Structure 1
Amino acid sequence: MKKRIVSYLSGSLLFFCLTSPVKAESILEKIQRTGIVRVAIREDAAPFGYLASEGDLQGYCLDFFALLEKQLVKNLERNTLSIKLFKSTANNRFSLVSNNIVDLECGSNTIRDNTPEGVSFSTAFFTTGTQFLVNKKNRDRFNLDRDLDEIRLGVIKNTTTEEFIIERYPSAIIQSFSGVTARTRGIQAVSQGKIDAMISDGILLRAEAQKQGLSASDYPLIPKTPLTCDRYGMIVKAEDPSWQNFVNSVVQSPEVTALSKAWFGNLLEYNSIASNVCSKN
């Protein structure tokens, strides 16, 4: 009789284990256990993340990570936390999160409907859109409502901007730039007269042009109202609502509003104009 009871209980436990898998550890639980927050930042997306002239990593995202750490210490009631920093690129930013290498990636990540598998986005923290950086001497050559026949346009390879420009201006001469220095080299090509315009998100064009010492008056962005609506969000793990909600709470905090003013300054004008475009879509 005892053997039958033992056999029955063992079978019941096996059945329970098969039908009730152990709940996966959330990111907040993991941070509480390990005391480590793993984050990623790009080196080619000024002012969000970039290498300064002396080679030091700088950008809005570094200061955002500091605020994130401060709020986590308070929320988790810990004395300290450690930030582990990873380098991301346009190609690996989603896989870093989906493969659990980092908990969050901060950068110029356009919130999209066709979200890559395994990841999600935070609420938007900046809004921009597609614009052309041109030499003011060539401004009159551009009528963006018509086909830009024989106009030399620079784009970053394998981006939604490249697809958009090729489809919208099929008669233009497209030059694609690739790698982490793509936007830098594209803007240099404009200043050297090798191409007529470099096309990307307005905020990224203006910030990189400033790094190169190119003034907004000599190298304006056209059109003033962006051609597209692009909202940036942090990349976070999908199906982890507690972590996503926490990140959203930091993004929407008064401290981040002050951080944006400090980092973007007069560039917030581009955010405001683009936000008006997005509100109409």
Structure 2
Amino acid sequence: MKKAFFVSCAALAVLAAPAFAEELTGTLQKIKDSGTITIGYRETSMPFSYIDDSQNPIGFALDICDKIVDEVKATLKLDKLKIELTPVSSSTRIPLIGNGTIDLECASTTNNLEREKLVAFTHTYFLTANRFVAKMSSGLKTIDDLKGKTVASTSGTSNIKELFEANTSRHLGMTILTSKDTAEGFLLVETDRADAYVMDDILLAGLVASSKTPPAYAISTDEFAVPEPYGIMLRRDDPVFKAVVDRATTKLYTSPAMAALYAKWFTSPIPPKGINFNFPMTPEMQKAFAHPNDSGDPKAY
């Protein structure tokens, strides 16, 4: 993640200083002292961060974090660096970054200006829109169709915030339910406890593709807001660590390896069921990879 042009000269000078080992602070000092980097992951955010049949965390975001770990290891001149994986949820991820329990959150977290007041993000690795999924038989196609319906979204997400805002501004009179994660949210629709589930479109695509009857569900074309960026989350006010993380992502995103990594998770069969998202890289994503950007403002893309 080599976003050198966004990092202060002072931060880069620290990385290059001969006495670097004596000048370590923040997250890098913590990692050096413990010999461990702690990564937060999600259990159901396919294909970004989820567990396979053997309960091993895998996914697109975790593959990116592997490259970050390599850069941290090289920067600290470590022969080995232990990776500790910690499951997080939408409600625990930001507090666990803030209190130092995890060093990176490698999942499917939206980078927005509000969250940037609490945490930092590295360069964007995906752009997604907030939509809803419903059963084909329901006939629900637009946001206005949700009037008077029972609609679910996951607590602690930007999705549920936008759902509440739409409910108020459009006078829809929805009954809004909360779920702990994407799997539970989709289950509410599967079992008819909710008419629709609101979440990032790419996550909805994964839920539908891995369901028992994919043709029985449809994702809305209507979106609650313009596409928003995903980023790897890390602590704020730690520019030296962020410089290392940004250096690793810039190296990856601007290399030919990025197209192969994207194809691995979005246009190829993935474990554990061999489903294929068939979600080719958009022009906006190509631009974001060619010119790495960590902005939480959707207008920047």
CA distance in 2, matches of 1:33, 1:158: 33
* Equivalent residue number for residue 177 of structure 1: 178
State, as a whole percentage, how many aligned pairs show the same letter.
21
Residues 122 and 234 of structure 1 are in contact (CA less than 8 Å); yes or no, is this contact kept in structure 2?
yes
* Equivalent residue number for residue 269 of structure 1: 279
- The residue type equivalent to 2:249 in the other structure is V
Gaps of 5+ in 1: 1-21
CA distance in 2, matches of 1:271, 1:150: 36
Q: How much does 1:111 deviate?
A: 0.9
- What TM-score does the superposition give when structure 1 sets the normalisation length? 0.76
* Equivalent residue number for residue 217 of structure 2: 219
Gaps of 5+ in 2: 1-21, 268-275, 288-297
* Equivalent residue number for residue 112 of structure 1: 112
Residues 152 and 179 of structure 2 are in contact (CA less than 8 Å); yes or no, is this contact kept in structure 1?
no
Q: How much does 1:23 deviate?
A: 7.4
Q: Classify the secondary structure of the residue corresponding to 1:97.
A: helix
* Equivalent residue number for residue 6 of structure 1: none
- What TM-score does the superposition give when structure 2 sets the normalisation length? 0.72
- The residue type equivalent to 1:101 in the other structure is T
Residues 105 and 232 of structure 2 are in contact (CA less than 8 Å); yes or no, is this contact kept in structure 1?
yes
CA distance in 2, matches of 1:171, 1:192: 23
Which residue of 234, 240, 243 corresponds with 1:242? 240
Q: How much does 1:131 deviate?
A: 0.7
What stretches of structure 1 move > 6 A for 4+ residues in a row?
A: none
* Equivalent residue number for residue 75 of structure 2: 75
CA root-mean-square deviation: 3.2
Which residue of 155, 164, 167 corresponds with 2:153? 155
Count of residue correspondences: 255
Higher alpha-carbon deviation: 104-113 or 153-162? 153-162
Spell out, residue by residue over 1:236-277, the C-alpha distance to the aligned partner (whole angstroms, 9 max, x if none). Answer: 11121121122122223134553232122264738638869x
- The residue type equivalent to 2:172 in the other structure is S
Residues 94 and 116 of structure 1 are in contact (CA less than 8 Å); yes or no, is this contact kept in structure 2?
no
Q: Classify the secondary structure of the residue corresponding to 1:65.
A: helix
Higher alpha-carbon deviation: 37-46 or 158-167? 158-167
CA distance in 2, matches of 1:269, 1:79: 38
Q: How much does 1:133 deviate?
A: 0.9
CA distance in 2, matches of 1:222, 1:136: 10
* Equivalent residue number for residue 203 of structure 2: 204
- The residue type equivalent to 2:178 in the other structure is F
Residues 156 and 162 of structure 1 are in contact (CA less than 8 Å); yes or no, is this contact kept in structure 2?
yes
CA distance in 2, matches of 1:274, 1:241: 27
* Equivalent residue number for residue 273 of structure 2: none
Residues 39 and 85 of structure 2 are in contact (CA less than 8 Å); yes or no, is this contact kept in structure 1?
yes
Q: Classify the secondary structure of the residue corresponding to 2:146.
A: coil
Which residue of 260, 263, 279 corresponds with 1:258? 260
- RCO higher in structure (CA 8 A, sep ≥6): 2
- The residue type equivalent to 2:63 in the other structure is D
* Equivalent residue number for residue 135 of structure 1: 135
- The residue type equivalent to 1:176 in the other structure is L
